[in-house]
């Protein structure tokens, strides 16, 4: 399944499902156009290619019983490691063929999400997890289903000059649209901008205006972050965007927001604010042409304020990412 995917895509963690979407039944999702089945046992969460090796039926049509995934067609039973441990039609004296296995993927559960990696994970957990520490209040947002290419969604998130127009009154004021020059620095495989000053009429849905300092980061092809800081009182949050590229033009986005203020406040208002912003962004990312993100810098017209977008496109090129790009 992976011949057409560059190593940079295979070694990443992707958010496959919300923890709350996976109970006692297997659930199927999609990554890079391939079906993946997730299921839960007493030992934790598991991810397999959603295909029974016997006759190609999706394992997600089956059920979970005694910590085993049971295929709906002929009842083959797979344990959490993907080994077929029982073939009901096989006379007891016959051995189960060695090839009777499911293709397994790395799978972990953290922060209300189930994460999968379909190659050899570069890190044991997503590289940004250390930022989600106990001093910060972490809230999960999404999933946001978007009919858009994953790279278009990530780039929209990294785009500072749309805030005053698409999110006017919330994240920007069109009377103050100028973006002063900033640099993009590359540090151990991470792209990070300088602090960019943006006037915020409502900042995070609490109705407070301020000059925010924005730092954007790119952790990998489908993971980015925004660190927003109020220079007057050092209130700040990290907002992580993780995209599951289901097909080239269909994605599921999740966000984790980690804030150092109002930690006792209910999370609903922060989630509702983000939901509003995503609906505003949806109109843009679902209508861009070409649908796939062009990596040739001669295509589309770039300004200095688009530096982070340019760096992101360049990184996708360096990583050999062709999925969702043109
Ligand atoms: Fe799964 Fe036959 S197709 S058991
Ligand atoms: Co936006």
Q: What is the ipTM of this complex?
A: 0.97
| Claim to verify: residue 75 and residue 200 sit in the same structural domain | no
* pLDDT for res 216: 98
| Claim to verify: residue 169 and residue 57 sit in the same structural domain | no
CA of 63 to the centre of ligand 2 (A): 40
Ligand nearest to the CA of 58: 1
* pLDDT for res 325: 97
| Claim to verify: residue 301 and residue 179 sit in the same structural domain | yes
* pLDDT for res 2: 56
| Claim to verify: residue 250 and residue 103 sit in the same structural domain | no
* pLDDT for res 210: 81
Q: Where are the alpha helices (DSSP H) in 121-241?
A: 150-157, 163-166
Which residue spans within 221-295 are E strands per DSSP?
223-229, 236-247, 250-259
Q: Domain ends where: 87, 117, 147? A: 117
- Tokens in use for 287? 């209508």
* pLDDT for res 64: 98
Ligand nearest to the CA of 274: 2
* pLDDT for res 3: 57
Those residues of the chain that have pLDDT short of 50 are 1
Domain presence at residue 122: no
Q: Whose CA is nearest to atom 3 of ligand 1?
A: 55
Please report which helix (H) or strand (E) contains residue 280, including its range. Answer: helix 268-285
pLDDT tens for 157-211 read 999 999 999 999 999 999 989 999 999 999 887 999 999 999 888 888 888 888 8
Ligand 1 within 6 A of CB of 54? yes
| Claim to verify: residue 83 and residue 176 sit in the same structural domain | no
* pLDDT for res 187: 85
- The count of domains in the chain is 2
Domain presence at residue 325: no
Ligand 1 within 6 A of CB of 69? no
| Claim to verify: residue 71 and residue 219 sit in the same structural domain | no
Omega within 30 of 0 (cis) for the link into 143: yes
| Claim to verify: residue 102 and residue 154 sit in the same structural domain | no
- CATH number reported for the structural domain that contains residue 189 in this entry: 3.90.380.10
Q: Residue 97's domain spans which residues?
A: 2-117
Q: Whose CA is nearest to atom 4 of ligand 1?
A: 74
| Claim to verify: residue 173 and residue 289 sit in the same structural domain | yes
Ligand nearest to the CA of 159: 2
Q: Are strands 250-259 and 104-110 parallel, antiparallel or unpaired?
A: unpaired
Omega within 30 of 0 (cis) for the link into 290: yes
Q: Where are the alpha helices (DSSP H) in 123-209?
A: 150-157, 163-166
| Claim to verify: residue 271 and residue 153 sit in the same structural domain | yes
Domain presence at residue 111: yes
* pLDDT for res 206: 85
Question: Residue 92, CB half-sphere, CA atoms under 13 Å: how many?
Answer: 0
Ligand 1 within 6 A of CB of 88? no
- Tokens in use for 92? 């007891």
For residues 98 and 290, what is the distance between their CA atoms, to the nearest angstrom? 46
Ligand 1 within 6 A of CB of 74? yes
87 CA closest ligand 1 atom index: 4
3 state DSSP class of 22: coil
For residues 275 and 46, what is the distance between their CA atoms, to the nearest angstrom? 29
| Claim to verify: residue 42 and residue 160 sit in the same structural domain | no
* pLDDT for res 211: 85
For residues 111 and 224, what is the distance between their CA atoms, to the nearest angstrom? 17
CA of 305 to the centre of ligand 1 (A): 55
CA of 52 to the centre of ligand 2 (A): 41
Q: Domain ends where: 117, 147, 176? A: 117
Please report which helix (H) or strand (E) contains residue 268, including its range. Answer: helix 268-285
Question: 150-157 and 307-318 are packed helices; what angle lies between their axes, rounded to 10 degrees?
Answer: 150
Instruction: List the one residue out of 110, 113, 84 whose CA is nearest residue 96.
Output: 84
- CATH number reported for the structural domain that contains residue 84 in this entry: 2.102.10.10
For residues 224 and 254, what is the distance between their CA atoms, to the nearest angstrom? 11
* pLDDT for res 208: 82
């Amino acid at each position: 399944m992976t011949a057409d995917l560059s190593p940079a895509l295979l070694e990443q963690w992707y958010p496959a499902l919300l923890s709350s979407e996976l109970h006692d039944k297997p659930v199927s999702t999609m990554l890079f156009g391939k079906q993946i089945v997730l299921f839960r046992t007493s030992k934790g969460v598991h991810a397999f290619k959603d295909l029974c090796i016997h006759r190609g039926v999706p394992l997600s049509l089956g059920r979970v019983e005694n910590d085993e995934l049971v295929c709906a067609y002929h009842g083959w039973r797979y344990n959490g490691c993907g080994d077929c441990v029982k073939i009901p039609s096989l006379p007891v004296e016959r051995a189960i063929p060695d090839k009777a296995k499911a293709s397994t993927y790395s799978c972990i559960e953290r922060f209300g999400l189930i994460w999968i990696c379909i190659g050899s994970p570069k890190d044991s957990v997503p590289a940004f997890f250390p930022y989600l520490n106990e001093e910060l209040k972490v809230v999960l947002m999404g999933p946001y289903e978007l009919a858009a290419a994953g790279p278009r969604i990530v780039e929209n998130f990294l785009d500072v000059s749309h805030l005053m127009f698409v999110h006017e009154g919330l994240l920007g004021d069109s009377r103050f649209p100028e973006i002063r020059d900033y640099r993009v620095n590359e540090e151990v495989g991470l792209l990070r901008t300088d602090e960019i000053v943006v006037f915020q009429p409502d900042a995070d849905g609490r109705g407070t205006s301020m000059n925010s300092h924005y730092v954007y980061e790119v952790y990998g092809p489908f993971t980015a972050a925004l660190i927003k800081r109020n220079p007057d009182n050092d209130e700040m949050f990290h907002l992580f965007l993780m995209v599951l590229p289901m097909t080239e033009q269909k994605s599921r986005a999740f966000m984790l927001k980690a804030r150092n203020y109002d930690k006792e406040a209910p999370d609903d208002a922060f989630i509702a604010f983000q939901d509003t912003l995503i609906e505003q962004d949806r109109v843009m990312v679902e209508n861009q042409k070409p649908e796939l993100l062009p990596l040739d810098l001669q295509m589309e017209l770039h300004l200095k304020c688009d530096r982070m977008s340019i760096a992101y496109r360049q990184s996708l090129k360096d990583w050999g990412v062709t999925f969702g790009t043109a």
